[in-house]
Structure 1
């Protein structure tokens, strides 16, 4: 066993973050022996991801070993492991999280015609350190009995006096909100964005709490009339097995506000190859697989995210919510604005 894999085995046992994929079955072990392996540190925790890894192993013979945790946990772990880190691929559910790994020097540039052809320039890091494979829009869930769609046609509308005491939202340190506010700073500058953040605080129906689903449910319960949410949370509630959540989406609808008339703010889920990847070629093959139409379609169908590639159509149930214009801003701009965004939100009183 190489020193890197010795470290990998020990850390799996010690830190209890390991989540071995079903590729530990005997048949998959045989495939791995023939095709090698790749170690994935993933901050995504969706059932469909496991299916993707199984399909990748079936197609290539490369076994996928998965370590799960939050993005900050995994970044800290890779930093502590240093050059001996067994991580080959880092997966995260926000461009800001990928940027944090990039800034820590943990991701390496990748040159791949398959990736640059499949993934639009604004949905990947310019030097190829990470690529977005799915998109999600940060938009507005609203009470259709109380709010007209035209009242939330822009992001400015969310902070307008019309919604004093009628807004539910997550905390200011949530990565999705940091990326949104970072995008607003990029588009508007700090002064206008600070004014917007003060309007958000003035409009709060309650102090920020819970996740995006909690905000949507709060709208249905009459706590607030509008809420900020990622689109895929709503889509999963609308198409899921929980009858209560489906009932919520009968009352609560989804609106796609526009940023400066150019479309709704979008973020990505994506991945990059690590700087010290012991299985670099296998890691690149995995990224290329995640960029394939088949992989993007499966994630869209089962997780409510939108494919990153413009040539890949969103399947149902996601297709029912895919008729919107996405803002063309490069998602790589969000991360560098996060510290400024956090300071601005804190100054506005957004907890």
Structure 2
């Protein structure tokens, strides 16, 4: 890793410091997950990049800095976070034929404010021992009483689960979504707790049979010697909506309003959707490229093919408030 290009600094430090690079990025993703593709961009263009890891408060930082912000780009995960940045009015549109031609319409903002870079599926981890092939087919099925006492999941108000419930609302309406959330809650083996990997651990320990999770966590578990056994106890199942495909979410990028290095920043954005960069970035994160035809990593390819839900992600973001209200009304985490 090129440590010279990683800034784990406060906003004050970045503002006060002289420009050390041609592109500055605020990112909620760990820098080591982005560094491989950044290194390739610098090697090909000679443009240096600073990564500032901002784990929380990225919107507040950009608003506080205003026109003085050193940040050119912001990179984050989940459509809810991207929409929050849009609502804060701290980014500007990018009119780029490269981005339009490389990224499917449903994976970018209709007003060109944000662009997806990778996707991940919200899938089911199923016990190899206790769940038969074909036993899990749809998201709607998770509310069926046959799963009573067999499901584990993280908090219902976590962004990943709110995005899934938002998709349920978009496909079936709010009343159905409330009944579905209540049905899934009734089928829980335990109170929601921990992250997605903790649910796989619970399956391995025999506490439940299936769990909700993002695909890339399988890659993370297989890379951790302490978690390999958990990963090997489950298989990935791609449920679908009854009228659509498998629910997906994204990581994405946006150009800040301040963008002191706008031209170079857009050049980096366009590089990030090239076939070469898509393969590097998706492989480093165990995710799926947004560019059609870009090669998958061998591990991700081994999980099998699936049909994606093509619902516009901005539509899902528009249902987030309803999803949160439903989770609170059914006391999902209670």
Matches within 5 A, 1:1-351: 11-13=11-13, 37-45=22-30, 47-70=32-55, 72-238=56-222, 240=223, 242-351=224-333
Q: TM-score normalised to the size of structure 2?
A: 0.92
Question: CA offsets, 1:79-133, max 9 Å, x none?
Answer: 1112222211110111111111001111211011111111111111111111111
CA distance in 2 between counterparts of 1:314 and 1:64 reads 26
- Contact 1:216/1:234, CA 8 A, preserved across alignment: no
Task: Kindly state the Cα deviation for residue 166 of structure 1 after the two structures are TM-superposed.
Answer: 1.6
Q: Which runs of 5+ in 2 are unaligned?
A: 1-7
Question: CA offsets, 1:287-328, max 9 Å, x none?
Answer: 111111111111222321011112213121111114111111
- Contact 2:9/2:52, CA 8 A, preserved across alignment: no
3-state secondary structure, aligned to 2:307:
coil
Which residue does 1:24 correspond to in 2?
A: none
CA distance in 2 between counterparts of 1:81 and 1:149 reads 53
- Contact 2:25/2:74, CA 8 A, preserved across alignment: yes
Task: Kindly state the Cα deviation for residue 277 of structure 1 after the two structures are TM-superposed.
Answer: 1.3
Q: TM-score normalised to the size of structure 1?
A: 0.87
Question: CA offsets, 1:13-36, max 9 Å, x none?
Answer: 399xxxx9xxxxxxxx9xx7xxx5
CA distance in 2 between counterparts of 1:322 and 1:314 reads 11
Task: Kindly state the Cα deviation for residue 191 of structure 1 after the two structures are TM-superposed.
Answer: 0.5
Structure 1 stretches of 4+ with a deviation exceeding 3 A read 12-15
CA distance in 2 between counterparts of 1:219 and 1:107 reads 42
How many matched pairs?
Answer: 325
Q: CA 1:46–1:259 in structure 2 vs 1: closer, same or farther (change >3 Å)?
A: farther
Question: CA offsets, 1:258-309, max 9 Å, x none?
Answer: 1124211011111110122111111111111111111111122232101111
